[in-house]
Amino acid sequence: MKAIEQFVNQVIESGTYEEMDRFYVANKIRGFVGDDDQLRNDQSVKDQLIALAISNQKIDDSVTAKEILNDQLMDLVTPTPAALNRQFQAKYAESPQAATNFFYEFCKANDYIKVAAIKKNVEFSNETKYGDLEITINLSKPEKDPKMIAADSNSKDVKYPMCQLCMENEGYLGRLGYPARSNHRVIRIKVGDEEWGMQYSPYAYFNEHCIFLDSVHEPMKINRQTITNLIDIENQFPEYFVGSNADLPIVGGSMLAHEHYQGGKHIFPMMKADLKQKLEFPKFDHVQAGIVNWPMSDIRLESNDTDQLVDLAEQIMNNWKQYSDETVSIKAYTGETSHHTVTPIMHRDGDTFILDLVLRDNGTSAEFPNGIFHPHDEVAHIKKENIGLIEVMGRAILPARLLTEMQEVKRFWLNEDNQIEEMHLAWAKEVQARQTITAKNVDEILHQELATVFAQVLENAGVFKDDDQGKQAWNRFIDQL
């Protein structure tokens, strides 16, 4: 049985087409890959078809062309958006978890979630004074430069789709510099009486990493409606956490131009952190509050009274937006430019809604031109990218360059021939001076030291530091709040 015939069988077995459609499906595939069908048993059927398309000169031998064809082929085993939404709703009638289990497994099976690419990521966790912090060296997709993120957020260019989060990506062919989306599907949901979508991240950083996106291409914003929306999503998908990146450059995520939230089924280190100080808000007697024992500045609110929860969250966010304390470099505005927002993150414990409001400040200075509350120069050799939602919660997403660079660091520590990068040298010498490093423990020490650096990164991003000056500043903010 040759590759085209084998793939036709897979398509019909998937249920998207029927036996009577066999010739039709075969000719669709031939249109993609050509008629010359030479079987190569050393490849998967799909990879054979991509190789056929190249040999038959239907596509170029390029990453973009192969990605586009891959997703066109997988689109043949993917129901239409309407059909898939009906299947999701039928499962949701059983339970929200049944629906998300169905959709998640489907997105892996149709290769929208890039399982093979995700497996390339290097992942580990290590104990720090803030508990276990999680590290991912991202080998599955490139990270965006913070300056490009800021430029994108201000871009007024009209393009189609306007961004990678727009619903218009469903079924989009793809192009050079823009990902293929032929097999992409979005589940329609209602959030705050508006149409939103739910999809999974193709390059997931944790279990069931999903995205909730507004159907309208509008910039991200953090306000009272944000908290109401998070509660609405938690009511619909109680087993997931959900949170929003901050809505400002430097402290925000990588896609500021389209309102969206991230969620999934993962318990992050920040969620496990306890309170270091309880707070009392007498007007909100149904809300328990406190400052979280965490390197970033986090106020946690817990309640099953969602009205009080939203009201108090709004009070804190509005207050923080206007708050300045220049003794600790906190400045709300430069002219009319606002520097303050929050990263709000919500999960549930039974009927109790737990909301973390992480205070953010994107101010810059002559000493810290990339951001006062951003990774500083001494840690930028490890992490200089934006500290977004995932990092805030205690999972570092580190650039792929570190995989090879850290091999040279290990060789340096073991006094072997090496080509250590200059930017890592001071750090490597400091670690070497206080650690006894051997071939047996070098990996363990590397993991521990990377976690320690990540803790320092998060401390850099915290607006109130964990020292006497920071504690006094915390108290001044809480007193006026």
Q: What is the full DSSP assignment across 285-309?
A: TT-EEEEESSSS-EEEEEES-HHHH
| 377 & 320 share domain | yes
CA angle centred on 442, ends 436 and 443, rounded to 5°:
145
Domain boundary among 110, 130, 159: 110
Identify whether 127 is part of a domain. Answer: yes
Instruction: Domain of residue 94: give its range.
Output: 81-110
d(CA 192, CA 233): 9
* Under 8 Å between Cβ of 234 and 131: no
| 285 & 136 share domain | yes
* Residue the block writes with tokens 């085209």: 4
| 103 & 252 share domain | no
Per residue in 8-42, is it b (16+ CB within 10 Å) or e — as a string? beebbeeebbeeeeeeebbebbbebbbeebeeeee
At 39 the pLDDT is 63
Domain boundary among 51, 75, 99: 75
| 71 & 93 share domain | no
Helices (H), 323-441: 389-392, 401-413, 422-434
**Phi, psi at 229, each rounded to 5°:** -65, -40
Identify whether 384 is part of a domain. Answer: yes
d(CA 340, CA 362): 7
d(CA 25, CA 20): 10
| 355 & 386 share domain | yes
Mean pLDDT by 10 residues, the chain (481 residues): 91 96 97 82 86 94 94 98 98 98 98 94 96 95 55 62 96 92 98 96 96 97 98 98 96 90 98 97 97 98 98 98 97 96 98 98 96 97 95 96 97 98 98 97 98 98 97 96 91
| 106 & 249 share domain | no
* Under 8 Å between Cβ of 237 and 348: no
Helices (H), 237-367: 269-272, 306-322
d(CA 79, CA 17): 9
| 256 & 316 share domain | yes
**Phi, psi at 276, each rounded to 5°:** -100, -10
CB atoms within 10 A of CB 440: 7
d(CA 184, CA 261): 18
| 470 & 340 share domain | yes
| 247 & 338 share domain | yes
Identify whether 442 is part of a domain. Answer: no
Identify whether 143 is part of a domain. Answer: yes
CB atoms within 10 A of CB 90: 12
At 153 the pLDDT is 57
CA 295 to chain centroid, in Å, comes to 20
CA angle centred on 172, ends 46 and 183, rounded to 5°:
40
Q: Is the peptide bond before 161 cis (omega within 30 degrees of 0)?
A: yes
Helix axes 422-434, 442-461, angle to 10 degrees: 110
Q: What is the full DSSP assignment across 103-115?
A: HHHHHHHTTSS-H
For the chain, the distance separating the N- and C-terminal CA atoms, rounded to the nearest angstrom, is: 72
Shortest CA distance to 72 belongs to which of 151, 180, 221? Answer: 180
| 22 & 96 share domain | no
| 143 & 42 share domain | no
d(CA 35, CA 52): 9
CA angle centred on 373, ends 372 and 374, rounded to 5°:
95
Pairing of strands 395-398, 131-137: parallel
Identify whether 249 is part of a domain. Answer: yes
At 254 the pLDDT is 78
The CB-based long-range contact list for 369-378 (8 Å cut-off, 24+ gap) reads: 370/146, 370/250, 371/250, 371/251, 372/329, 373/251, 373/460, 373/461, 373/462, 373/463, 374/250, 374/251, 374/460, 374/461, 375/457, 375/460, 375/461, 376/460, 378/427, 378/456
Amino acid at 110: N
Identify whether 412 is part of a domain. Answer: no
Domain count, the chain: 3
Identify whether 318 is part of a domain. Answer: yes
Identify whether 124 is part of a domain. Answer: yes
| 38 & 131 share domain | no
